[in-house]
Amino acid sequence: MCGIVGCVLDKKAAPIIIDSIKKLEYRGYDSVGIATVTDSINVKKGSGKIKEVDDEIKLKDIDGNIGIAHVRWATHGNPTKENAHPHCDCKNKISIVHNGIIENYKELRQELLNEGHVFKSETDTEVIPHLIEKYMDEGLDLLKSVQKTVKRLIGSYALAVLSSDEPDRIIGARNESPLIVGVSDHGNYLASDVPAILNETKKVIYLEDKEIIVLKKDDVTIMDLDLNVLEKKITTITWDPEMAEKGGYEHFMIKEIYEEPQVIKDTLSEAEKIKEIVSKFKNFNRICFVACGTSYHASLIGEYLIESQIGIPTEVILASEFEYFQKTLDKHTLVIFITQSGETADTIKALKIAKKKSETLAIVNVVGSSITREADHVIYTRAGPEISVAATKTYISQLICIYLLVAYLGENEKLLDNLYKISRLSEKILSREEQIREIAKKYKFARDFFYIGRGFNYPTALEGALKLKEITYIHGEGYPAGELKHGPLALIEDNIPVVGILPPGPSYRKTYNNLQEIKARGADMIILGANNDTHLDDIEDKLLFDPEIDEVLSPLLYIIDLQLLAYYISIEKGIDPDKPKNLAKSVTVE
């Protein structure tokens, strides 16, 4: 879960690279480094944030028109300068940056140690420059040495490689970790993700697994692992660079929450495409959702919707657990994969398994990402770049896609009509931001939170609790309201905040009774409900909505309150909500 950038330019590379690598901070990192080529390999790196390291060792002062850079999120070895990328060979003639995990690095490392190689880090990555050095010493050029090296690697990698023996190029390679190419009049780029290069170019080529690239200032050559040259399509990115900036907001997360009404409108514009995809589905009698994290919660709402509105048997499986369920797949199962980045490693692996037996559909935010090139059908969420690690607007856009899918599968015109009211209603929720901030001030010192909901809003409770955990570091649990007496009620005591999701509808009475049981045990209640609900007059902290929201649609709106609540608790605790500890935006390793 790292970010890499490389470029071959007609001007000094370091300032461009450092600016680019900053755009990948959202992926999570604990160290940073840069390498360029002049007469030799020049490396600067250190642990800490980019600004801290740059202030200390002046990353931008490094010379050279060709360079690579890396932000590292530690997997093998502590976040130290020695373990930071780039890594070099024994002779300091080769330097590489790597995103991914090399599963057989211990065997390779021992082999190289036996041959006299000396290692300076604890990382799995460092075996790569030493293998390349070994093959170059045998007389191979840089490209063929990289080719021979990657054929020996087991695991995932996105690589960018420099050599002082061939100082006019970068060799890149990809397998199960994202890597894109940027093409411009001033040179060419490699990067882990589009935002890194948007200030320099909007022309992008997406690399596939087991492809190698030779990047020069005026030329890009992409090959398979046997070095057969491939023809690749250039995609023009429609995002404006400013879309990936804060735009006057204090944090990306609050900016992205405020973008949700527009995101709802933009995603609804996909309605006709979704209708067309539904018309192409083959005969199926079962649906299976596969996802991780926030996308898993969106999938759970999909399960409730499909089962209740259409009656098709549906289940949701965590992508990391999918391989244990693959024997249940057949040609009559539609498997739906949901992922913001389209690069989630567990989800990609699950899709490759599912394709062998079933029809597949992907709901994805990033155009051209790995998942989009594997699935039989693709729906784009149109949320634009989401920089904050905690998913907000992409969750809403995933839900809109699911609701549209259900409306067309079930030929439900009423549901379809109601979806077009959601954007305006979401703006009303955002108008009570200050009320939510006051509630956040009251509960910022809580050690535990419980979130309670039934039916469609059990997944909303799970997602609300996840947001709290991610960005406030407060323990939060989401439960179905009916499960309280099966264990969780034992944990309820004086002053524990409990968030109750209580929209009007069939589940109201039972959920209300469950919340009364909690209140009787001294918990502090925060209730999301309807403005005309007189049963809530004695609740001090409540977020009530007018007009009344149908229970079926309530997950699309009540989650915005919970996103704002988590955000403001984070702010009140002095935590940066955009960069929660230990987490990364795109989980590109299993």
113 vs 108, 134, 139, 148, CA distance in Å? 9, 12, 21, 19
How far apart CA 484 and CA 518 sit, in angstroms, is 9
Q: How large is the average pLDDT for residues 474-492? A: 79
Taking 80 as the threshold, does the pLDDT of residue 180 lie above it? yes
For the chain, give the mean pLDDT.
90
- The residues near 177 (Cβ < 8 Å, ≥ 6 apart) are 99, 100, 156, 157, 158, 192, 343, 345, 588, 589
Topology (CATH) of 430-576? Rossmann fold (3.40.50)
Q: Write b or e for each residue in 172-190: b if 16 or more Cβ atoms lie within 10 A of its Cβ, otherwise e.
A: bbbbbbbbbbbbeeebbbb
Q: How large is the average pLDDT for residues 3-9? A: 94
Asked whether 117 and 130 are in contact (CB, 8 A), the reply is yes
**Which tens digit of pLDDT belongs to each residue from 529-540?**
888 887 777 777
**The pLDDT value given to residue 29:** 67
Interstrand relation of 448-453 and 475-480 (parallel, antiparallel or unpaired): parallel
- The strand pairing partners of 163, in sequence order, are 94
pLDDT-derived band of residue 513, with 50, 70 and 90 as boundaries?
confident
Four-CA torsion 194, 196, 199, 201, nearest 10 degrees: -50
Tell me the catalytic residues.
Answer: 2, 585
Which architecture characterizes domain 246-420 according to CATH?
3-Layer(aba) Sandwich (3.40)
pLDDT-derived band of residue 460, with 50, 70 and 90 as boundaries?
very high
**The pLDDT value given to residue 244:** 62
**The pLDDT value given to residue 16:** 94
**The pLDDT value given to residue 415:** 95
Alpha helices in 35-126 (DSSP H): 50-57, 105-114
Tell me how crowded residue 98 is: count the other CB atoms within 10 A of its CB: 29
Q: Residue 237 has which token pair?
A: 């990115």
| Cα-trace Rg, the chain | 25
How far apart CA 321 and CA 577 sit, in angstroms, is 29
Asked whether 222 and 205 are in contact (CB, 8 A), the reply is yes
pTM score of the predicted model: 0.70
* Domain locations in the chain as residue ranges: 3-243, 246-420, 430-576
**Which tens digit of pLDDT belongs to each residue from 361-412?**
999 988 778 898 899 999 999 888 888 889 999 999 999 999 999 999 999 9
Asked whether 340 and 292 are in contact (CB, 8 A), the reply is no
Asked which of 213-227, 261-275, 560-574 is least confident by mean pLDDT, the reply is: 261-275
**The pLDDT value given to residue 242:** 62
**Which tens digit of pLDDT belongs to each residue from 131-149?**
999 999 999 999 999 999 9
**Which tens digit of pLDDT belongs to each residue from 318-354?**
999 998 998 899 999 999 999 998 888 889 999 999 9
**What is 307-357 written as a DSSP string?**
HHHT---EEEEEGGGGGGGGGG--TTEEEEEEESSS--HHHHHHHHHHTTT
pLDDT above 90: percentage of residues in the chain: 63
Asked which of 250-264, 321-335, 347-361, 499-513 is least confident by mean pLDDT, the reply is: 499-513
Taking 80 as the threshold, does the pLDDT of residue 17 lie above it? yes
**The pLDDT value given to residue 535:** 79
Tell me how crowded residue 20 is: count the other CB atoms within 10 A of its CB: 27
Asked whether 3 and 38 are in contact (CB, 8 A), the reply is no
Asked whether 299 and 347 are in contact (CB, 8 A), the reply is no
- On the CB side of 150, CA atoms within 13 Å amount to 29
525 vs 132, 495, 512, 518, 519, CA distance in Å? 61, 9, 12, 8, 7
CATH of 3-243, one of 3.60.20.10, 1.10.10.60, 3.10.450.50, 1.20.1280.50: 3.60.20.10
CATH topology of 246-420 equal to that of 430-576?
A: yes
How far apart CA 295 and CA 298 sit, in angstroms, is 5
